[in-house]
Amino acid sequence: MSKGAKGGSNWADLAPRIGSAVVMAAIGIAAIWAGGVVFAALVALVSGLIIWEVTRMLAPSEGAGSNVLATGMGALTGVAIFLAGFLSGFYALLILWGVALVGVGALGAGRDRVRFGLYAIWVMMAGYGLTAMRLEGGLMVILWLVAVVIATDTAGYFAGKTIGGPKFWPKVSPKKTWSGTIAGWIAAGLVGLAFGGVLLMLISVLMSFASQMGDAAESALKRHTGIKDSSNLIPGHGGVFDRFDAMMGAALVLTIMYLHGVIVAVGG
| pLDDT for residue 23 | 84
| pLDDT for residue 227 | 87
| Residues in the chain, total | 268
Backbone phi, then psi, for 126, in 5-degree steps? Answer: -65, -45
| pLDDT for residue 89 | 76
| pLDDT for residue 240 | 92
Rounded to whole angstroms, the Cα distance separating 248 from 210 reads: 9
Domain locations in the chain? 13-259
Note every long-range contact of 221-230, with CB atoms under 8 Å and residues 24 or more positions apart, other chains counting: 221/54, 221/57, 221/115, 221/119, 222/57, 223/172, 224/115, 225/57, 225/58, 227/57, 230/50, 230/53, 230/54, 230/57
Residue 212: pLDDT band (50, 70, 90) is: very high
Backbone phi, then psi, for 261, in 5-degree steps? Answer: 85, 10
The answer for residues whose C-beta is within 8 angstroms of residue 169's C-beta and 6 or more apart is 176, 216
pLDDT beyond 90 at 188:
yes
pLDDT digits (tens, 9 = 90+) for 67-94: 888 999 999 999 999 999 888 778 898 9
pLDDT beyond 60 at 17:
yes
pLDDT digits (tens, 9 = 90+) for 82-138: 999 888 778 898 999 999 999 998 887 666 888 999 999 999 999 999 999 898 888
Measured in whole angstroms, the distance separating CA 163 from the mean position of its chain's CA atoms is 25
| pLDDT for residue 1 | 38
Rounded to whole angstroms, the Cα distance separating 201 from 207 reads: 10
Output the pTM of the full model: 0.86
Rounded to whole angstroms, the Cα distance separating 122 from 216 reads: 13
Torsion angle of alpha carbons 84, 86, 91, 94, nearest 10°?
0
| pLDDT for residue 64 | 55
CA distances from residue 234 to 17, 30, 132, 229 in whole angstroms, order as listed? 9, 19, 26, 10
Residue 130 near residue 251 (C-beta atoms within 8 A): yes
Least confident of 117-121, 141-145, 172-176, 240-244: 172-176
Q: What is the mean pLDDT of residues 245-257?
A: 93
Q: What is the average pLDDT value for the chain, to the nearest integer?
A: 85
